[in-house]
Structures are given as structure tokens and as C-alpha cells.
Structure 1
């Protein structure tokens, strides 16, 4: 007589049991609620602030640049000094100095500079640098711009001295009309946010998924659970619900954390804006819901093949590479988003979050494709996992 009542309460009973037990597990709590959701935003903003501060310092402070042949172009050196560049002593091997990162850039002036200048001929100035050293880019650009400004000024003065208009040397000018909004430019710095959010979801449920399948199998507690007169799919549903609850909570904490720490990034100094408020968080959460179920089912499926906790941890660590695929591919092969791409799990979430960061918003069509495609994949993963749960071999340890 109690069987129908027991069956009707199975889902809630399993869900509450798993949540309650894992709230006592320090490792699960640290992974799901601290390491990913809080540490990642703090580290991200800290590194970004340090990098931006270094760039600001290089742009504002005086730069010491070794100059070879300084005696040949005193006027050029005065122009550099006026722009905050302090000419340093010449060095014997500038190429080697740049390769060893002893100097970001070295300026070399040709010995025939003065002679060619008096004849009105083009003169040669070399900037020696290493383009593979990204830290030197700001210094190189600053010195290069000062030299080019000086060259344009002197060229204009030569034309005026000959009774010609300075515009004669520039018959065509290019007027650039940048249509990117201030918020769209902020995507340049926060382009890795989609990966962080997916990683947070994955890490939020990973240890719980391992413990609820391989962990219970290793402790030989899965077989007594399966011995109860209830359908296996209800047990699976309760376990998946517990994993999804932890993953969702992890994502929520991450969204709130990014919304708070994002305000400490000096984007306004770069002419950018960044909106990571409640509307952004709600949109990301909505499009991520089917992805949360998909990742939970995949984690449970992979963990079901493992015979021990450690083995499952190895398998799921390898599976962790999957969420990185869209971000890695798009960093190498930039793609223009098409409708069908929104229906692809992970890829659709990536494009959707990027659109939200740009301030463009998501249309209902795009949101529907994003959620529908991931929901279909999640349903398939759940069905496959449910089939595995029907196997008696799953409950047997060893």
C-alpha cells in the first residue's frame, strides 16, 4: 500500500538526500561555491587591473630609449624629449638587447641622416624591437607615433618653404567612422567571460556528479539504493536535480561576483563601458539552464563508466576540455554568428553572451534556438544516462 507513495516521493527524497549529504562535503562546497564562482572573477579582474595599470604607466611616464647615432639628429631627439621619451646611451648590440628583453625598443639613426636631410632627401630611422614581446607593444607604438608626427611636421614645413600647400602631399585622406559603441569595445577585454561561465557550471557539479555515481559505487551504497522498489529513472532524476542545483548556484554566485568586481575595472579610461548588472545575469542564467542539465547528464554518464572515485575524476578532468572548444576555436577562427550556430550547445551560449556583452541584446528567435538546441542535446544525454542506470553492472563495485 505504501509503494505508490514511496514512488511519488522518490525524486524529492533522493534530491534532498544528495543535497544534504554534499553540503557536509567540504571538497564539494569549496569546488562548487568558492573556487570557480569567487576565485575566478577575483583573479580575472586582478590580472586585468595589473595589466591595464602597466599599460597606463607606460603611456604616461617618461620612457628611456637607447638611441644609436643621436648626434646626427638633434632636432628629432628634442621632439622625442617633448613627447616624454628620454634618449639613452647607445648600445653595442641592439638586436641582442631586444631579444633578451633588456630593452623594449632601440632607435638607430643612420650616419648619413644629416647629409640626406640637408639635400631634402628621405632619411632613415630604424626602430629595433621584438613583436613577439607583447609587453613592449605600448612602448614601440609610443616611440613610433612620435617619430611619425615629427616626420609629418617637417614634411609640411618643407612644402611651405617651397610655396606649396601641405595638403599637396596628401591628395586623399581617410575618415574613419567607428560604429562600435563604448560597450561593444568592452568585449575586447571580457571576451573570455563565456568560457568562465561554462567552466563555473561544470566545476559546480563535477565533484557531486562523481560522488553520486562512482563514489557511491565505490562505497557499495549504490546497490542498496537500486534495490528499492522504485524506477531507476526517478533515482537518476533526483541525482541530476542535485547536480543541477549546485551548478546553478555556482553560476549565480559567479554572475554576482563578476557584476561586483567588474565595477573595479577602469574601463572608462579606455573609452569603454561594461554592463554586467541584473538584466545581463538573468539573460545568461536563462540561456544556460538547458546547458546545466546537459553538462550534469554528461558528467553522470562519464562517471558511470568509472569503477572508482579517482578514475571518474580523471575522466571528468579530460571532459573539462570540451567547454573550452568554442572559445579556443573562435580565438583562432573568428566567425560571424549565423542562426544555426545558436542551436549548437556551448557555441550558442558563447555567441549569446558575447552579444549581451556588446549591448546588442538577444532576439527571441536567437534565445529560442540557443535554449532549444541545448535542451534537445540535454534530453538525449539524459536518455543515454538513464539507459546506463538500468544496467545491473552499474551497482556492482570493482
Structure 2
């Protein structure tokens, strides 16, 4: 039996008995995140949809000046409340989402056929206020367009006279491509799941054994160090792969709990999506396992290794953070950049565009090349006798 395979079986068997490793690699990382996200999204979406349908009450200043406008609001499910003495303070103190203020000269200007002013007082920084504000704005603007058309007809003019240029929207987005806006964080989450799935195992197999002084007896055996490393990396990759599979499977249940049809989106996270994600993530599994082992080898204790790994965890954040701030047009060479290529590829899968064979090959080639460099660097460090010495 190959020495690397023996080491692999030993490490897997021992860590399957470690409750801390199992909880972090197979529960906390791959399952807790998707479950919490699905629950939060379900609550948030249903809350927003309920707010969009149910009647709302809005304080109106000067309601007696515009009875027809108040009637239009009421027919749209917006009831007028009595005026507030200080509407700005009421909005600031979150006692109301929006206040309508009708100009004192509204009736006079209306009778003269002049433009009238209706103020909407709200706080755009409050997320909860966006839905009622949009509802009120839509009704007021629709009422204004309708009355403007009636004025033109009364003067013997066609309503189209006031709008010589008509904008026709031709949105090319599909229901599935729109879902990428809501789930654009998935690439980062999959990378983080792989990282957390192998992190505690990588710490235990290097810094942990070094602290327990069990690494030196292992190195005394007449086995090449690279074979020992190969067994350990295989064990780390196995845990990371299982963690990724559990995460992909958990997210595949999202369409069952999130009312995607009410949002006008189509979310396809089935077998085809999962297979492509796992394929694109394969080089990152090896790369992150090697990097985690390399970083952990510099630590003399388990706690010190945890500190180093928390710093290393910043790396998976960078591509997603940069793409969220600086949207870029995907170029072919970008798919060969580890982390960036996976991010772009998974977003394309979410949009329903798919990934081409060339893009997949670039992802795999760039990722495995970086992984090979990290493995060689870790193997070189494993040749040092100081690695087995604790303290």
C-alpha cells in the first residue's frame, strides 16, 4: 500500500473522530450559511411583497386642497392621515415612512391650469421606506400624467403632443440573468466554504501535530517527506470537497423556499450548475489546501496557526469585493487567474449563459498551475527538520 495513502487514511480516520473538525468542516461552513441566507431572504422577500400589496396610511399636509388627488391615492390603497406639525422630524424619528405635503397655492394654480407642487418627504437611507415611497410616487405621477392629458384634450390637442419622444424599453435581461444580481455572492461563499472545510484539518495536521509532538515520530519513518505531505493534502482536499458538495446541495434547495416567481426571476441551481461549480472549484481545493498547510507549518501551536489562517482568509474575499465595487467586462485571460476565474464562471452559470470549454480549461490551467507552485513550496518547507520541533 502506498505510504501517501496510508497517511491519508490515518488522517481522515483520526479527524472523523474529532467533533470540532466535523462541526466546522461539515456543518458550520457548508450548511449554516445557506440555511441562514435562505431564511433571511425568505423573510425579507415576503415582507417586502406584503408591504407592496397591503394598504398603507400616509400623513398628508393640505389634503383639503386636492380632493381628487386624495381620491386617487385612496383607490390605490393609500389612506390619507391627518397632517403632522413637523413632517421632517417625524420622518427623521421614524414615526412615519413618508409624508405628502401639498403646496398652499395648489387649488389656485390648478384652476389657472398651471403646474402644481406635491412634495414627498422621506429618508432614502431607510431601506424599509423604499416600498411605500415608490408606491406613493407612482400614484402621484400617474395622476399627474392623466390630468395633464385631460387638459390637452380640453384644449383640442392630442395628449401625445406633450410627449413628442417616446421611450420604448427593450430589456434584454432574462428571468434567470436577473437572479445573478441577487445571488452574485455565491462564488465568494463557495470559496469560503472550501477554505473553512479544510482549515481546521490543515491546522491540526501540521501545527496541531507539531504541538502534540507527534510530527517528529512520523518524519522518522523511512518515507519520503513529499509522500507524507501528499497524504495530508489528500485528506484536507477530501474534507474541503465534501464541504463544497454539502454547500452546493444546500443552496440547490433555495428555489423551494424563496418565492422566485413573485420576484420575476428564475433560479436554476440544479445538477448541471452543481457539476460545473465543482469542476471550476477543483484547482482551488488543492491550492487552498496547500496554502493552509504552508501557513500552518510556520506556526508552533494550534492557536498561533488559527491566527495565521484568519489572515489568509482575506484572500478569498478580494475578487468578490473588487467585482462588487468595480464591475469589469470579462476577458479571456481573466479566467486563468485563480479565484477571479471561478468568480466570473459561477456568475455566468447563475445568469444562464454557461461557460465555454475554453473558459473551463483556462480556469483549470491557471488554478492548477498556482496550486502546483503552492504544493512545491510546502514540500520544500516539509524537508526542514525544524518543522518537527515544537517550542
TM-score, normalised with respect to structure 2: 0.98
- Deviations, residues 246-302 of structure 1 (Å, cap 9, x unaligned): 000000011111112332211111111011111100000001000000010111111
- Equivalent residue for 1:124? 117
- Deviations, residues 141-172 of structure 1 (Å, cap 9, x unaligned): 11100000000000000000000000000001
Deviation for aligned residue 1:99: 2.1
* 1:300 lines up with 2:293 in the alignment: yes
- Equivalent residue for 1:290? 283
Alpha-carbon separation, structure 2, partners of 1:358 and 1:100: 41
Deviation for aligned residue 1:139: 1.2
Contact 1:45–1:262 under 8 Å retained in 2: no
Alignment of 1:83-94 (within 5 A): 83-94=76-87
- Equivalent residue for 2:161? 168
Deviation for aligned residue 1:86: 1.1
What secondary structure does 1:322 align onto? helix
- Equivalent residue for 2:336? 343
* 1:381 lines up with 2:374 in the alignment: yes
- Equivalent residue for 1:185? 178
What secondary structure does 2:181 align onto? helix
What secondary structure does 2:285 align onto? helix
- Equivalent residue for 2:146? 153
Contact 1:67–1:89 under 8 Å retained in 2: yes
What secondary structure does 2:119 align onto? strand
Alpha-carbon separation, structure 2, partners of 1:234 and 1:87: 77
What secondary structure does 1:323 align onto? helix
Alpha-carbon separation, structure 2, partners of 1:388 and 1:335: 38
Alpha-carbon separation, structure 1, partners of 2:186 and 2:78: 37
Alpha-carbon separation, structure 1, partners of 2:58 and 2:386: 71
Deviation for aligned residue 1:195: 1.2
Match of 1:69 among 52, 62, 78: 62
- Equivalent residue for 1:4? none
- Deviations, residues 10-62 of structure 1 (Å, cap 9, x unaligned): 10010000000000000110111111111111111111111101110111000
Q: What root-mean-square deviation, in Å, do the aligned CA atoms of Structure 1 and Structure 2 show?
A: 0.9
Match of 2:218 among 225, 229, 244: 225
Alpha-carbon separation, structure 1, partners of 2:295 and 2:24: 19
Alpha-carbon separation, structure 1, partners of 2:59 and 2:312: 50
* 1:48 lines up with 2:41 in the alignment: yes
- Equivalent residue for 1:5? none
Alpha-carbon separation, structure 2, partners of 1:45 and 1:53: 12
- Equivalent residue for 1:309? 302
- Equivalent residue for 1:141? 134
Alpha-carbon separation, structure 2, partners of 1:238 and 1:360: 38
* 1:14 lines up with 2:10 in the alignment: no
Structure 2: any 5+ residue segments left out of the alignment? none
Bigger shift: 253-262 or 371-380?
253-262
After the TM superposition, list the runs of 4 or more consecutive aligned residues in structure 1 that deviate by more than 4 angstroms: none
What number of residue pairs does the alignment pair up?
391
Alpha-carbon separation, structure 2, partners of 1:280 and 1:54: 29
- Equivalent residue for 2:353? 360
Alpha-carbon separation, structure 2, partners of 1:266 and 1:346: 31
Deviation for aligned residue 1:102: 2.0
Match of 1:81 among 69, 74, 78: 74
- Deviations, residues 216-264 of structure 1 (Å, cap 9, x unaligned): 0000001111111111111111000000000000000111111123322
Contact 1:98–1:104 under 8 Å retained in 2: yes
Alpha-carbon separation, structure 2, partners of 1:30 and 1:96: 49
Deviation for aligned residue 1:100: 2.4
Contact 1:195–1:327 under 8 Å retained in 2: yes
Alignment of 1:195-214 (within 5 A): 195-214=188-207
TM-score, normalised with respect to structure 1: 0.97
Alpha-carbon separation, structure 2, partners of 1:91 and 1:296: 62
Alpha-carbon separation, structure 2, partners of 1:241 and 1:318: 23
- Equivalent residue for 1:36? 29
